[in-house]
Chain A
């Protein structure tokens, strides 16, 4: 009985829009149609999406992006967490400084980096040029543009990884370390055989969360490359956004959003099943 209000809220907020999108995806409807009724078209929208090369290109781009930024932000975040979990003076200030990128709105991050990486006026190309004499253009080729986006996104998100992993490190039990120390294990051995196994569940959660967040990337793509050059950096959420809110084709957009959602759920389930369960067991 006491659950009813919250259940109603859950249905209202979570499930109602989902079913709306589901129903919409079986119809033909545009936002510009004022009084034309929805026309039932069965699986037409899905057929279109499944056969649309560009959708699968975008799906591939999304995965490349998500894997790249997850690995990079994990590597940087974990290294920093290990470093800043040690005791030394100024640790508090450094920890606070590391968080800063996470506090900047993604749109600002995108715009900021677009100018930092500007080949003529940007700071990074200028430094590279004065050291090596080579002019680097960060968005010129498809591969380079994707790499730059991963770099920007990882910059924004490594503090997230850092926070989660630091919290994990701080909550580790002290006893195994003391025992290892007494046994004369070196730093690498302690890391390899104590820290890493103990941290595995935390790492799995952090990586899963970041990966799922990255699959939904939109703001950085929008502000930095708008999916270009060509369609090299077009991700699924950007493609769906264009269909739905720039072209007002909400029917096709809904079908795409649902396919996309199933893909994400699939990833999450696979991940939980293999990585997380394995991490727990190990």
Chain B
């Protein structure tokens, strides 16, 4: 064959095949797809089970990309900064929301909420609404609460008759229950530097009447209440928790609790489900939940948000309208989801399945967010984490008889002074003290 024939033939074939491919693709019309970016968590698994319902209703296909907590922040920022978006719906942890909102990375949801009155934002618990919902600086809404992780007290009903109401009582009870000879401890603590030591230690601070900020956003973490609280926290960690708890994460503490090596644990309120689940726990059926001693709990929360560069905003809003609705939340709650709506907490069906729901409502209602919505939330948590961890080491020296109680407290005070100073400087560079600011409730006066 000569080339004069071959070349045109090949070109013609390519053109025809390409045309056929293009035409058939256009005729088929692929279904709309949205991409979600979520933490790899039990909550995400509940949602996955319910997704077919949404896909049938709307014809929108949902793809969930799951990630571990540690990588989420980095990944989100690379997506926010790219000119072409990738995710349509994301979940955001409450310490990040102000930072993301001020950077212009989240779509305000006010118009969407006005168009969807059935979402009834008044139904969200107040503590949660201020954590992830309305942003006090511009009054706009950037996130809808998804689930809460308020801290609560878990205790073994076969060992503890009435749950302790304050931290001193908690400590003496824990001490009484501890028996290192039998490898049994009062509390499965998680005092690892970073988020964990803050999520746990801050409950003590709150219980003693201490706070991280006052209503005008000045750090007050170096108060005498906070010093007393952390000293007691250290005694709990070193005298009543398993050895090594100073480096423990949730995993280690949960393993110790479920395997019958501890009588109490301060953890996320909905972990009561896992502790009483025979598939996950060797001590299932023996656990009960109560508010943290001292009354006020540390609150964290995840919320739904839409990135500014979401490729398919229309479908994203449809998804948000479905996932945040009271009906969907009820279905999820029946699977074990941690609710954010008053109506779900009080729903008779949910209460019948989970009799402790009213206790959980009390826990979340009386909780104070881990940080206020400021642009340096993540840094503040880590500053606290570092100095809380340093404070615990001074209690360790006290336990070993190297220093007296008064010396230990003086050293803790020094650490907290440093924490307060660092937080102050951080807030100052962010411009928070240039004008008079006043935090909304639950931090500031209502």
Give A residues with C-beta under 8 Å from B: 31-34, 114-115, 118-121, 135-142, 145, 222, 225-231, 242, 245-248
Closest Cβ of chain B to A212, distance in Å, is 25
Bound complex: CA of A121 vs CA of B261, how far in Å?
10
Across the interface, which residues of B come within 8 angstroms of A230, CB to CB? 193, 386, 389-390, 392-393
Asked if A137 and B259 sit within 8 Å, CB to CB, the answer is no
Asked if B99 and A119 sit within 8 Å, CB to CB, the answer is no
Contact flags (1/0) for B214-248 with A, using CB distance below 8 Å?
A: 00000000000000000000000000001110110
Q: Which of A32, A139, A142, A247 contacts B244 (CB 8 A)?
A: A139
Asked if A225 and B193 sit within 8 Å, CB to CB, the answer is yes
Residue of B nearest to A225 (CB): B247
Asked if A121 and B393 sit within 8 Å, CB to CB, the answer is no
Give B residues with C-beta under 8 Å from A: 70, 73-74, 77, 81, 99-100, 102-105, 180, 183, 192-194, 197, 242-244, 246-247, 252, 255-256, 259, 261, 375-376, 378-379, 382, 386, 389-390, 392-393, 396
Asked if B243 and A119 sit within 8 Å, CB to CB, the answer is yes
Residue of B nearest to A248 (CB): B77
Asked if A121 and B193 sit within 8 Å, CB to CB, the answer is no
Residue of B nearest to A227 (CB): B193
Asked if A34 and B104 sit within 8 Å, CB to CB, the answer is yes
Asked if B389 and A228 sit within 8 Å, CB to CB, the answer is yes
Q: Which of B104, B197, B244, B376 contacts A140 (CB 8 A)?
A: B244
Asked if B104 and A226 sit within 8 Å, CB to CB, the answer is no
Q: Which of B74, B102, B244, B393 contacts A137 (CB 8 A)?
A: B244
Asked if A228 and B104 sit within 8 Å, CB to CB, the answer is no
Across the interface, which residues of A come within 8 angstroms of B252, CB to CB? 114-115, 118, 121
Asked if A120 and B393 sit within 8 Å, CB to CB, the answer is no
Across the interface, which residues of B come within 8 angstroms of A139, CB to CB? 244, 246-247
Closest Cβ of chain A to B383, distance in Å, is 10
Q: Which of A34, A119, A141, A242 contacts B382 (CB 8 A)?
A: A242
Asked if B192 and A31 sit within 8 Å, CB to CB, the answer is no
Across the interface, which residues of A come within 8 angstroms of B70, CB to CB? 222
Residue of B nearest to A145 (CB): B247
Closest Cβ of chain B to A279, distance in Å, is 40
Number of A-B contacts (CB under 8 A): 91
Residue of B nearest to A245 (CB): B74
Across the interface, which residues of A come within 8 angstroms of B104, CB to CB? 34
Asked if B243 and A140 sit within 8 Å, CB to CB, the answer is yes
Q: Chain A: interface secondary structure?
A: loop
Q: Which of B99, B183, B246 contacts A229 (CB 8 A)?
A: B246
Bound complex: CA of A118 vs CA of B255, how far in Å?
10
With A32-B99, A246-B382 given, is the CB distance from A228 to B192 under 8 Å?
yes
Identify 9 residue pairs between A and B in the complex whose beta-carbon atoms are under 8 Å apart, listed by A's number. A34-B105, A118-B255, A120-B242, A120-B244, A120-B255, A140-B396, A230-B392, A245-B73, A248-B77
Asked if A140 and B183 sit within 8 Å, CB to CB, the answer is no
Across the interface, which residues of B come within 8 angstroms of A118, CB to CB? 244, 252, 255
Bound complex: CA of A248 vs CA of B243, how far in Å?
35
Residue of A nearest to B243 (CB): A137
Asked if B393 and A226 sit within 8 Å, CB to CB, the answer is no
Asked if A31 and B243 sit within 8 Å, CB to CB, the answer is no
Across the interface, which residues of B come within 8 angstroms of A138, CB to CB? 244
Bound complex: CA of A233 vs CA of B44, how far in Å?
34
Q: Which of A33, A34, A141, A228 contacts B193 (CB 8 A)?
A: A228
Asked if B390 and A32 sit within 8 Å, CB to CB, the answer is no
Q: Which of A31, A136, A229, A231 contacts B81 (CB 8 A)?
A: A31
Closest Cβ of chain A to B79, distance in Å, is 12
Interface centre among B77, B193, B255 (most CB of A within 10 A): B193
Across the interface, which residues of A come within 8 angstroms of B379, CB to CB? 247
Residue of B nearest to A54 (CB): B386
Interface centre among A115, A145, A248 (most CB of B within 10 A): A248
Bound complex: CA of A222 vs CA of B69, how far in Å?
13
Bound complex: CA of A228 vs CA of B73, how far in Å?
21
Interface centre among A140, A225, A226 (most CB of B within 10 A): A226
Residue of A nearest to B392 (CB): A229
Bound complex: CA of A228 vs CA of B201, how far in Å?
15
Bound complex: CA of A136 vs CA of B242, how far in Å?
11
With A32-B102, A33-B103 given, is the CB distance from A247 to B378 under 8 Å?
yes
Across the interface, which residues of A come within 8 angstroms of B81, CB to CB? 31
Across the interface, which residues of B come within 8 angstroms of A120, CB to CB? 183, 242-244, 255-256, 259, 261
Bound complex: CA of A229 vs CA of B386, how far in Å?
8
Residue of B nearest to A129 (CB): B183
Bound complex: CA of A226 vs CA of B191, how far in Å?
12
Given A137-B243, A230-B193, A245-B74, 10 other A-B contacts at CB below 8 A? A31-B77, A118-B255, A120-B242, A135-B180, A136-B243, A222-B70, A228-B192, A229-B246, A242-B382, A247-B382
Asked if B244 and A226 sit within 8 Å, CB to CB, the answer is no
Bound complex: CA of A31 vs CA of B78, how far in Å?
10
Closest Cβ of chain A to B422, distance in Å, is 10
Residue of A nearest to B100 (CB): A32
Residue of B nearest to A228 (CB): B193
Across the interface, which residues of A come within 8 angstroms of B102, CB to CB? 32
Across the interface, which residues of A come within 8 angstroms of B246, CB to CB? 139-140, 228-229
Asked if A32 and B382 sit within 8 Å, CB to CB, the answer is no
Closest Cβ of chain B to A211, distance in Å, is 26
Residue of B nearest to A231 (CB): B386
Residue of A nearest to B193 (CB): A228
Bound complex: CA of A137 vs CA of B261, how far in Å?
16
Residue of A nearest to B78 (CB): A31
Bound complex: CA of A136 vs CA of B60, how far in Å?
55
Closest Cβ of chain B to A175, distance in Å, is 54
Closest Cβ of chain A to B378, distance in Å, is 6
Closest Cβ of chain B to A103, distance in Å, is 22
- List the 5 shortest-distance A-B pairs measured between CB atoms, nearest first: A228-B193, A139-B247, A137-B243, A119-B244, A137-B244
Bound complex: CA of A279 vs CA of B202, how far in Å?
56
Across the interface, which residues of B come within 8 angstroms of A34, CB to CB? 103-105
Bound complex: CA of A230 vs CA of B255, how far in Å?
24
Closest Cβ of chain A to B224, distance in Å, is 22
Closest Cβ of chain A to B191, distance in Å, is 8
Residue of B nearest to A141 (CB): B396
Asked if A226 and B259 sit within 8 Å, CB to CB, the answer is no
Asked if A226 and B192 sit within 8 Å, CB to CB, the answer is yes
